[in-house]
Structure 1
Amino acid sequence: MEGLPAKLNDLPDEILFLIFKKLDNIEVLYLFIGVNKRFNKLVHDSIFTNHLTMTRCSSNGSFDRLDNQILDRFCSQILPSIHHKIKWLDIESSFMEDVLLCTSYPNLCALGLHNIEKDIALRIFTGE
């Protein structure tokens, strides 16, 4: 074993789950969906798909927008492939419309809207 590099794909599922749990669910999905069939199966587990937090809080307490490349891939590929598994979704107001309109969420029980302005909230929730 000495001198041979360990490959991520060579690790048992149990070890991969331990590694994946150390990452944010968004990172796990973005990095490993589409890599191969085995990783697809692992990251489609409810541990990684039930609750998605698509916000990043900066050190000063404000919310940072996700990178456009990450957001585009989530809206075009990832969310449509896991939409039926998502039960809780936390999103930031600047990309709320993109995320909510890219697919349906038939099992969504909770929605967290972060950094939303009062006038936008009134328009959404009262139709004004």
Structure 2
Amino acid sequence: MEDSFIQLNYLPDEILMIIFKKLNNFDVLYSLMGINKRLDNILQDSIFTRYLTLTKPPIGSKQFTDAIIDRICVEILPKIHGKIEWLNIESSFINRILSTNYPNLHTLVLHNLSLERARDLFTDGSYFICVFEYQLSSLVIHTDQSQKATSSFKDINIFLYTQILTMFKNLQYLNFSPFAYPKSHQLTFNLSFPNVFSSTLLHLHVTVDTFDDCLYLLDGRFNQLNTFDVTIYF
């Protein structure tokens, strides 16, 4: 392994860039960041730092351990945090990952968001909202569809929808996958229509319960909306 690294280190920067660009950004950063100053300088290039995915690998692949997450948070993210513009995060890691400041982050994708974590993240005055309310322009939420179905899904979906569009002042793109409850509702407003408007939202991607819910979203409350991508459950 040592001989292999020496051979790698002898290659010119241009060749190393070609090799690294063919690999997963996370694998490159995790494996090579901190070895020496030369590699650190190469890995500071925006092609490796602008877009970062920190989600659980598929079953059968190497899983994230506490040691891996510790190294990411302590040794890697502090070196590149100012260059990250887009983060894909497993929601179970979010408290640790977002403890670092990301001044140029504009897009956040949350995977497998649980019911309990959703309540914590989007409650008024939460750290998450305080930090990102003016910063995020794009937000994608993939909820944990493996959770046991419960009637509270309807309420949490309305809560999340309302909080997101109220609290994030510069949001332009929202892709919201609501908690699914097939015997009841996806995202539905019924007779309770939250008084939510946005003059910044340009693209909305959402799943709703009925066609009436779809019409509610198109009643003019998003006066700059130019793209509406909707799935109607019934």
In the TM superposition, what is the alpha-carbon distance from 1:37 to its structure 2 partner? 1.4
Give the match for residue 48 of structure 2: 48
Distance 1:90 1:79, change over 3 A: same
CA contact 1:54–1:66 (8 Å) conserved in 2: no
Higher RCO (CA < 8 A, seq sep 6+): 1
Which amino acid in the other structure matches residue 39 of structure 2?
F
Which amino acid in the other structure matches residue 86 of structure 1?
I
Across the aligned residues of Structure 1 and Structure 2, the Cα RMSD in angstroms comes to 2.3
In the TM superposition, what is the alpha-carbon distance from 1:44 to its structure 2 partner? 0.7
Report runs of 4+ in structure 1 exceeding 4 Å deviation: none
Q: Decide which structure has greater helix share.
A: 1
In the TM superposition, what is the alpha-carbon distance from 1:47 to its structure 2 partner? 0.4
Give the match for residue 77 of structure 1: 75
TM-score for both structures, normalised by structure 2: 0.47
| 1:1-128 matched pairs, under 5 angstroms | 7-58=7-58, 66-101=64-99, 103-127=100-124
The C-alpha deviation readout for 1:80-114, integer Å capped at 9, x for no partner, is: 1111101001110121111111x111110011110
TM-score for both structures, normalised by structure 1: 0.83
CA contact 1:65–1:92 (8 Å) conserved in 2: no
Match of 2:105, SS state, is: coil
- Gap runs ≥5 in structure 1: none
Distance (Å, rounded) in 2 between the aligned partners of 1:95 and 1:110: 17
Which amino acid in the other structure matches residue 15 of structure 1?
I
Aligned residues: 121
Larger Rg: 2
In the TM superposition, what is the alpha-carbon distance from 1:125 to its structure 2 partner? 1.6
In the TM superposition, what is the alpha-carbon distance from 1:78 to its structure 2 partner? 0.8
